[in-house]
Structure 1
Amino acid sequence: MPAPYSDELRQKVLDAIDCGNRKSHISQMLNISRNTIDLWLKRREATGSATPRRHYRRGPQPKIAELEQFRAFAQQHGHLTQQGMAQQWVERISDHTIGKALRRIGFTRKKRAMATENGMKGNGKRS
């Protein structure tokens, strides 16, 4: 993905437009599309600045957004497996999503549904 234009360039373009220069002339001179200049003007009208948004989360938003609430839920229901926790959660959610949220808050997942009683059984030979 290409990097956004610098804030200085954006400001220079907008200052040139404010001074009365034509958008098409500026776009040809700086090799910027006219649509980009229009988007910068629209952003400046909406937010007061033409700087791009920074530190926004890309991709789909997590289904469990309230991590502190989920941390309390995980401490209360920590004895359950991920499937059991998914059934106890307020909304309909998958055990895979519960696992991702547990990783995000730093909890380790429960590896087995039931505790192992005998551990590993030897084959009778000792080395």
Structure 2
Amino acid sequence: MPKIYSVDLREKVMLFYKETHHKSKTCELFNIARTTLDDWILLEQKTGQLKQPKPRNAGRPSVIKDIQGFKKFVETTKFSQAKDLVPLFEKQFGYSVGYHVILKALHKLGWTHKKRVFSTDKPAK
């Protein structure tokens, strides 16, 4: 796991580097890796600041964007299990979500887990 450095330390390192123009002395003095200093130099050249940009979220969305549309979708679609809704949801709304997102949204709408009632052929005593 990479070490996270504060913006204050980054600014001190860059100030020292700009004064000396010597990367190895700067890295030795502040006890950082040479590649880290190179990354900070590139970051400052590209963005003009040393604050690390936030990464974009990748993958599927963690929530359903239109909860009212989802409610209508669930009421009009026939399904026996929540996992049946995942491919149908993708067709209807144009983006895919995980099974756990469907379950969370159903719970939010007040749908509960139903227990199956098994019929028996034996008469009751």
Q: Is the TM value for this pair above 0.5?
A: yes
Q: Secondary structure at the match of 1:14?
A: helix
Q: Which has the higher contact order (CA 8 A, sep 6+)?
A: 2
Q: Give the alignment's Cα RMSD to 1 decimal.
A: 3.5
Whole-Å Cα distance in 2 between the matches of residues 106 and 46 of structure 1? 45
What is the aligned partner in structure 1 of residue 39 from structure 2? Answer: 39
Match of 2:73 among 73, 77, 81: 77
Aligned residues: 113
In the alignment, structure 1 segments of 5+ residues that lack a partner are none
C-alpha contact (below 8 Å) 1:86/1:92 kept by paired residues: no
Q: Secondary structure at the match of 2:4?
A: coil
- Give the drift of 1:4: 0.6
- Give the drift of 1:36: 0.4
Match of 1:111 among 106, 110, 113: 113
Which structure has greater helix proportion? 2
Residue 70 (structure 2) pairs with residue 68 (structure 1): no
> Which amino acid in 2 is paired with 1:78?
V
Task: Using structure 1 for the length normalisation, give the TM-score.
Answer: 0.64
> Residues 52 and 32 of structure 1: is their aligned pair in 2 closer, same or farther, counting only changes over 3 Å?
same
In the alignment, structure 2 segments of 5+ residues that lack a partner are none
Whole-Å Cα distance in 1 between the matches of residues 96 and 74 of structure 2? 17
- Give the drift of 1:57: 6.5
- Give the drift of 1:15: 1.1
Q: Secondary structure at the match of 2:20?
A: coil
- After superposition, residues 4-15 of structure 1 pair within 5 angstroms as 4-15=4-15
Identical counterparts, % of pairs: 18
Deviates more, 1:15-24 or 1:31-40: 15-24
Task: Using structure 2 for the length normalisation, give the TM-score.
Answer: 0.65
